[in-house]
Amino acid sequence: MWLNIEVNKFIILPKNSGNLPKYNEKMDELDEEESIKRILEIRREEIVDISLGDTSPHLFITFKSGKVLFVNGYDKNFECWQAGDGEGYGGHEWLIVAVPGNEIAVWAPKDFQIT
């Protein structure tokens, strides 16, 4: 599995913060160095839950420590993030993309049905 964050708008919320960003909340875009530094802080943490926002395809990844990686899912012009199981990581059947306009696009195996 892999995650590509196109628009570097993400934050790592501390344990029990309960202070999740809103759909229209302004977030600063991080530079590459700061982005890498923040991701390295959580690189070995165990993931216990993954979910999407209700009104926008914000990505919430919850870790065993209680920290939450929040990845912005809204941009009117660009894809914000992509996740998949690309070549060398178990196949290439899945791709999920937060696309412009608060939409999500899914490429999945033929037998998978979205409800």
- Give the tens place of pLDDT for each residue, 65-95: 999 999 989 888 889 999 988 765 555 788 8
> How many domains would you assign to the chain?
1
Burial class (CB in 10 A: 0-12, 13-18, 19+), 10: buried
Tell me, yes or no, whether 33 lies in a domain. Answer: yes
Q: What is the DSSP letter of 5?
A: E
Tell me, yes or no, whether 45 lies in a domain. Answer: yes
CA distances from 88 to 1, 47, 93 (A): 9, 21, 12
Tell me, yes or no, whether 37 lies in a domain. Answer: yes
Please say whether the dihedral angle defined by the alpha carbons of residues 96, 51, 57 and 110, taken in this order, is positive or negative: positive
Tell me, yes or no, whether 114 lies in a domain. Answer: no
Q: How far is residue 36's CA from residue 110's CA, in Å, rounded to a whole number?
A: 35
Tell me, yes or no, whether 113 lies in a domain. Answer: no
Tell me, yes or no, whether 80 lies in a domain. Answer: yes
Say if CB 98 and CB 79 are below 8 A apart.
yes
Domain containing residue 75: 2-107
pLDDT on residue 107: 86
Tell me, yes or no, whether 112 lies in a domain. Answer: no
In the predicted model, is pLDDT for residue 23 greater than 60? no
pLDDT on residue 19: 64
- Give the tens place of pLDDT for each residue, 28-54: 778 889 888 988 989 999 999 999 988
Tell me, yes or no, whether 86 lies in a domain. Answer: yes
Say if CB 42 and CB 67 are below 8 A apart.
yes
Q: How far is residue 61's CA from residue 51's CA, in Å, rounded to a whole number?
A: 7
Give the residue with greater pLDDT, 87 vs 98: 98
In the predicted model, is pLDDT for residue 114 greater than 80? no
pLDDT on residue 16: 62
Query: Could you tell me the pTM of the whole model?
Result: 0.81
pLDDT on residue 52: 92
